[in-house]
Amino acid sequence: MEFVSIRIITGDVARLVDFYERATAVRANWANEDFAELRTASATLAIASTRTVPLLAPGSAHPADNRSIIIEFLVDDVDSVHQNLTGFVQDFVNEPTTMPWGNRALLFRDPDGNLVNFFTPVAPAAIEKFAR
C-alpha cells in the first residue's frame, strides 16, 4: 500500500487552488473545473468541488467542516516562509515555534478553515528523520 493523496472538498475550488498554489509555489494540474491536484515529490493535495461528492456517496463530505486534520508540508526554512505568507494568510494560528519533537512549525488556516502546518526539522533527530 502507498499513501498518495489527501482530498479537500470545497465550495470554491478556484479560490482554494489559488490559495495553495500561492502558499506552496506548486502549480495545480486541473482535470476540470471541479477537480485539481497539487503534486509534490511525496504526495498530492487534491481539491474537489462539492459537486463531486454525490459521485462518491451523497452527503458523505461537507466543505469547510474539518476540525481534526492538519495538512502538513515540509519546507526548507519555515521562518522565511512565514515572512512570505505574512499579508497573504489571513488566519495564523501560531507563529513559527520549535516543537518538543524537534520541528519548527508554522500553523495557519486556509480559506475553508482547514489547518495547515509548514515545518522545518531543527533538532538533530528530526533532521535525520526527514533527511532527503
Q: Residue 66 — very low, low, confident or very high, per pLDDT cuts 50/70/90?
A: very high
* 22 and 50 in a common domain: yes
**Are the beta carbons of 35 and 10 closer than 8 angstroms?**
no
Measured CA to CA, the distance from residue 54 to residue 77 in angstroms comes to 40
pLDDT over threshold 80, residue 25:
yes
Instruction: Average the pLDDT over 1-23 and give the result.
Output: 97
Helix and strand totals (H; E) in the chain: 4, 8
Identify which of 95, 76, 94, 102 has the alpha carbon closest to the alpha carbon of residue 24.
Answer: 76
Compute φ and ψ for 56, nearest 5 degrees: -85, -60
Check which CATH number belongs to the domain holding 111 and give it. 3.10.180.10
**Are the beta carbons of 122 and 128 closer than 8 angstroms?**
no
**Does any domain span residue 63?**
no
**Does any domain span residue 62?**
no
Q: Residue 40 — very low, low, confident or very high, per pLDDT cuts 50/70/90?
A: very high
pLDDT over threshold 90, residue 61:
yes
% of the chain surpassing 70 pLDDT: 99
Read off the pLDDT of residues 29-38 as tens digits, 9 standing for 90 and up. Answer: 999 999 999 9
Read off the pLDDT of residues 117-130 as tens digits, 9 standing for 90 and up. Answer: 999 999 999 999 99
* 76 and 53 in a common domain: no
% of the chain surpassing 90 pLDDT: 98
Instruction: Average the pLDDT over 85-90 and give the result.
Output: 96
Look up residue 86 and give its three cell numbers. 505574512
* 101 and 48 in a common domain: no
Give me the domain span that covers residue 51: 1-57
**Does any domain span residue 109?**
yes
* 119 and 90 in a common domain: yes
Q: What pLDDT sits at residue 50?
A: 97
* 39 and 96 in a common domain: no
pLDDT over threshold 90, residue 132:
no
* 109 and 85 in a common domain: yes
pLDDT over threshold 80, residue 24:
yes
